[in-house]
């Protein structure tokens, strides 16, 4: 406390501290946890506090950041593993492969197969 007073520093942690911890936890748990509430529970903060922190730091809601990270991980699985879409879906705890395919199509506008074919043909965006 004396140090913070001497150097005129805030005593409390900045709110964006949770945003950095959220990103760190996503890197560790993206295959197992896909809900913001699960990460908020790990950080012992409310979902609202976590969302405000992420919004202040990155300019997007926590759900958007989480979906972007999940999508990137799924793309890596589709391109660089020899697993089927079904295997990837179960790796990421989707209840059905069709749920992964719907998530992927909504996020990219392409099916998993189209995405893989475009990459193989060199027309990857």
Average pLDDT of span 76-103: 95
- Per the structure, the count of domains in the chain is 1
Q: What is the tens place of the pLDDT at every residue in 21-70?
A: 999 999 999 999 999 999 999 999 999 999 999 998 889 999 999 999 99
Would you place residue 9 in the very low, low, confident or very high pLDDT band (cuts 50, 70, 90)? Answer: low
Average pLDDT of span 73-102: 95
Q: What is the tens place of the pLDDT at every residue in 112-122?
A: 999 999 998 88
User: How large a percentage of the chain has pLDDT more than 70?
Assistant: 90
pTM, 2 dp: 0.83
The yes-or-no verdict on residue 13 having pLDDT over 70 is no
Q: Are 27 and 20 in contact (CB under 8 A)?
A: no
User: How large a percentage of the chain has pLDDT more than 90?
Assistant: 78
Average pLDDT of span 71-81: 95
Helix (H, G, I), strand (E, B) or coil at 66: helix
The yes-or-no verdict on residue 1 having pLDDT over 70 is no
For position 30, which CATH number holds? 1.10.10.60
Query: How much is the pLDDT for 124?
Result: 64
Q: How far apart are CA 53 and CA 51, in angstroms?
A: 5
Q: Residue 107's domain spans which residues?
A: 2-121
How many Cβ atoms sit within 10 Å of the Cβ of residue 45? Answer: 18
Q: Please name the residue that has the structure tokens 């993206």.
A: 30
């Amino acid at each position: 406390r004396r140090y913070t007073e001497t150097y005129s520093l805030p005593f409390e942690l900045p709110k964006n501290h949770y945003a950095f911890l959220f990103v760190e936890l996503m890197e560790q748990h993206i295959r197992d946890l896909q809900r913001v509430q699960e990460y908020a529970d790990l950080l012992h903060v409310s979902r609202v506090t976590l969302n405000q922190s992420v919004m202040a730091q990155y300019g997007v809601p926590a759900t958007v950041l989480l979906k972007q990270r999940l999508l990137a991980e799924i793309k890596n699985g589709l391109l660089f593993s020899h697993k089927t879409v079904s295997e990837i879906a179960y790796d990421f705890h989707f209840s059905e492969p069709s749920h992964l395919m719907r998530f992927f199509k909504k996020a990219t506008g392409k099916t998993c197969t189209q995405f893989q074919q475009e990459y193989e043909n060199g027309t990857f965006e």
